[in-house]
Amino acid sequence: MITTRNALRVLAAAVASAGFAAVSTPTLADTLTCTSASFRANADASGNIQVTCTVPSSGGDSGGGTTNPPPIDTGGGTPPPPSDGWAGTCPGYSKTIVYDLPWNAQSKITTKGFANGTMLVARFTTPNTSVQSGSATIASAEWLPPRVTRSASISTSPCDLGGTGTGAVSGGWTQTPGWTYQILGTASRLSGRVVLQPNTTYYVNIVNRDSAGQSTCTTSTCEMIVQLTVPTGL
């Protein structure tokens, strides 16, 4: 986020109170030091100081100190036409948000309105192939704070958190549900891989809930990213 502020030189204290620290009243062409983000301060011909502050985004942080750009929302947050025969709503939840993850090299969605009582369903379909693939990932991350515990599964059934659908795998209770998977073949328990079938629609089902079934989102919404990476060659 880029924030631009104009301040008179005599108002350096006001700038400091907004999160910028100034040791002394700046003169033309002085540069302030921002305590909470990086910024530049430039003086104009009238003696005003223009402060441009770049606030690091908290969303999409991979944990390694880098921030990903906002991913493209491919689902729009509303149920697409039920080509898979599903009406797009999960019983027992006040709201269902549905996204499609296209089978591209890498596709991402960012949620909108992911609150308590909401079921997030990210849907994708594997290709029709007889070739056993290598491994790839289905991953997630917080897009906006706070970090919360979530219940999740990947299943051939939408809304399925209990792992009862064909090919269902529970994601347990974690802040960032994710799986390593392959198409066809047999994966050992030690590999940690999920084996998916070709030409099959899968649903990544996620709610803001802990192992005791209690809601975990402490703000109005707890948005997140879900990302599908496909195996090389498929």
pLDDT value at 141 more than 70 = yes
Report whether 142 contacts 222 (CB < 8 A).
yes
Report whether 103 contacts 124 (CB < 8 A).
yes
The mean of the pLDDT values for the chain is 72
pLDDT value at 187 more than 90 = no
- Token readout for 163 is 């792992």
pLDDT value at 168 more than 90 = no
The pLDDT tens digits of the residues spanning 14-58 come to: 333 444 343 444 444 444 444 444 455 556 666 565 555 544 443
Q: In this structure, which amino acid lies at residue 204?
A: V
Going by their DSSP bridges, the two strands 95-100 and 48-54 should be labelled as: unpaired
pLDDT at 163: 60
The DSSP annotation for 60-79 comes to: TB-SSS-BPPPPP-SSTTSP
pLDDT at 29: 41
pLDDT value at 188 more than 90 = no
Q: Which residue has the higher pLDDT, 118 or 78?
A: 118
The pLDDT tens digits of the residues spanning 79-137 come to: 444 467 788 899 999 999 999 999 988 999 999 999 999 999 999 999 999 999 999 99
The pLDDT tens digits of the residues spanning 192-230 come to: 788 999 999 999 999 999 888 899 999 999 999 999 999
Q: Which whole number is the average pLDDT over 154-163? A: 85
pLDDT at 52: 56
Going by their DSSP bridges, the two strands 95-100 and 118-125 should be labelled as: parallel
CA distances 61 to 23, 75, 80, 126, 155, Å, are: 32, 21, 29, 28, 27
Say which range, 70-79, 164-173, 202-211, has the weakest mean pLDDT: 70-79
pLDDT at 167: 54
d(CA 165, CA 143): 28
pLDDT at 10: 36
Question: Residue 161: in which H helix or E strand, if any?
Answer: none
Report whether 220 contacts 123 (CB < 8 A).
no
- pTM (2 decimals)? 0.64
Dihedral pair phi/psi, residue 190, rounded to 5°: -65, -30
Q: Which residue has the tokens 């697409």?
A: 80
Q: Which residues of 170-202 are buried (b: 16+ CB within 10 A; e: fewer)?
A: bbeeeeebbbebbbeeeeeeeeebbbbebeeeb
pLDDT at 85: 76
